[in-house]
Amino acid sequence: MSQYNFDEIIDRRGTNALKTDALATRYGNPDLISLWVADMDFKSPPAVADAIIERAKHGIFGYTGPSQEYYNSIINWVDRHHNWKIQQEWLTFIPGIVKGIAFVIDCFTSRDHQVIIQPPVYHPFRIIPSLHHRIVKDNPLKLETGQYKMDIDGLKAMIEPASKVLILCNPHNPGGRVWTRQELVDIAEICYEHKILIISDEIHSDLAFSPNKHIPFASVSEKAAQNSITFMAPSKTFNIAGIVSSYSIIPNKELRDKFNAYLESSELDEGHIFAYLAAQAAYEHGDEWLTQAKDYIWKNITFVDEYLKVNIPQIKAMIPEASFLIWLDCTELNLSQKDLVSLFVNDAKLALNDGTMFGHGGEGYMRMNIGTPLANIQKALDNLKKAVDTKQMHR
Ligand SMILES: Cc1ncc(COP(=O)(O)O)c(C=O)c1O
């Protein structure tokens, strides 16, 4: 068992990484500590680079399809990690999950239809349907004892004949919830009854921390399986978002035929050589890397939580049950959102995501990406403490 070095500081500047090289345009300062866009500052499992390099040495990159081993690696992974037995015919490559959401919206709804989301939630859930001129309806999550819960009664009450799709973030970004079986069953029942198609975005599923266990939405009941399109990917899990290798899983033949025909009409289901290879390599050889990465991420989460409790008690971390994003409750600082963002960016020199981009419930929050070496986090929190102390001295 090799020990991977997640403490290694790797300079990403100059690679066109959004996280570093878009700081100047997005935040007006290229030198901030970058804790925003959701990728990690860790090297992917070595097997991924090895597979790409080995294939690159061949030197011919003509039209290339997915191999049987690629499909097997996904089927085995989903079974091994999520206890869900999927069939190869349910699987289709898609060029990214946000694009997949757009395809579903385009394929299954029309202009006057409503798309239900559960904010605060990953912002493209709102932006993509809106850009497609669909009506986005909020079924806000409820904050109960510092954790988000689904508002099942609220969902029942808001459904209208025009409600056609619900986009589920499973697990949840930015709150980090791993939804319970009961929550998923409830959603499945209601949506089945009202013929609302569910998109289950499970991009963060491999990153659930024990004892939490991700439950694939479609696995909770036959109604869930027959009325959903699941999206998964190795991109967050193994830090290969730039390679773009996602897939849809659709057990229902009618839905699958319709969606796949839509994809095929523009060849959107065709991946590229390295997308297939990287996914396969990660799924076949990445287990140990993932175990160690999750341990490291969990230690970072614990560090942030303890640091805040001792040094900046006005800011509270919502402890994620999955993934490397921490939702920071900054409401006790009593700042307007503009001043809160300015405190982080201009005073503390930190680039986090402004909570309001996640919609309803995001006011007073910031999202911090802790998929980075601990040394970066220590520095960031020291900066934040100084900025908060100074601000409060001058009040
Ligand atoms: C919930 C969720 N879905 C999708 C994505 C992006 O997926 P993709 O890069 O495949 O479009 C992210 C990235 O942060 C995410 O958090």
Please enumerate in sequence order all residues whose Cβ is within 8 A of that of 350, keeping only pairs 6 or more positions apart, or say none. Answer: 32, 33, 35, 344, 380, 383, 384
Alpha-carbon gap, residue 340 to 231, rounded angstroms: 34
β partners of residue 135: 114
What is the whole-number distance in angstroms between the Cα of residue 113 and the centre of ligand 1? 23
Ligand 1 proximity of 96 Cβ (cutoff 6 Å): yes
Topology at the third CATH level for domain 18-45+287-393: Aspartate Aminotransferase, domain 1 (3.90.1150)
Q: What are the structure tokens assigned to 363, written together?
A: 């006011």
The number of helix segments (H) and strand segments (E) in the chain equals 14, 15
* Intervals of the chain under pLDDT 50: none
Provide the pLDDT for residue 48.
98
Tell me: cis bond preceding 120? Omega within 30 of 0 counts: yes
Distances (CA, A) of 147 to 177, 202, 212, 344, 351: 8, 19, 14, 24, 24
What is the whole-number distance in angstroms between the Cα of residue 203 and the centre of ligand 1? 6
Tell me: cis bond preceding 171? Omega within 30 of 0 counts: yes
Give 163's Cβ-side CA count (13 Å radius): 21
Pick from 344, 366, 381, 340: nearest CA to 29: 344
User: For the chain, where do the domains classified as CATH 3.90.1150.10 start and end?
Assistant: 18-45+287-393
Ligand 1 proximity of 97 Cβ (cutoff 6 Å): yes
User: For the chain, where do the domains classified as CATH 3.40.640.10 start and end?
Assistant: 60-285
Q: What is the largest CA-CA distance in the chain?
A: 65
Ligand 1 proximity of 169 Cβ (cutoff 6 Å): yes
Question: Going by DSSP bridges, is the β-strand pair 135-138/325-329 parallel, antiparallel, or unpaired?
Answer: unpaired
Alpha helix (H) residue ranges in 88-202:
97-108, 124-131, 152-158, 181-193
Alpha-carbon gap, residue 176 to 172, rounded angstroms: 5
Alpha-carbon gap, residue 361 to 375, rounded angstroms: 31
Alpha-carbon gap, residue 146 to 318, rounded angstroms: 7
Provide the pLDDT for residue 392.
83
Topology at the third CATH level for domain 60-285: Aspartate Aminotransferase; domain 2 (3.40.640)
Provide the pLDDT for residue 1.
58
Pick from 14, 198, 208: nearest CA to 105: 198
The predicted-structure confidence for 293-315, as pLDDT tens digits, reads as follows 999 999 999 999 999 999 999 99
What is the whole-number distance in angstroms between the Cα of residue 323 and the centre of ligand 1? 12
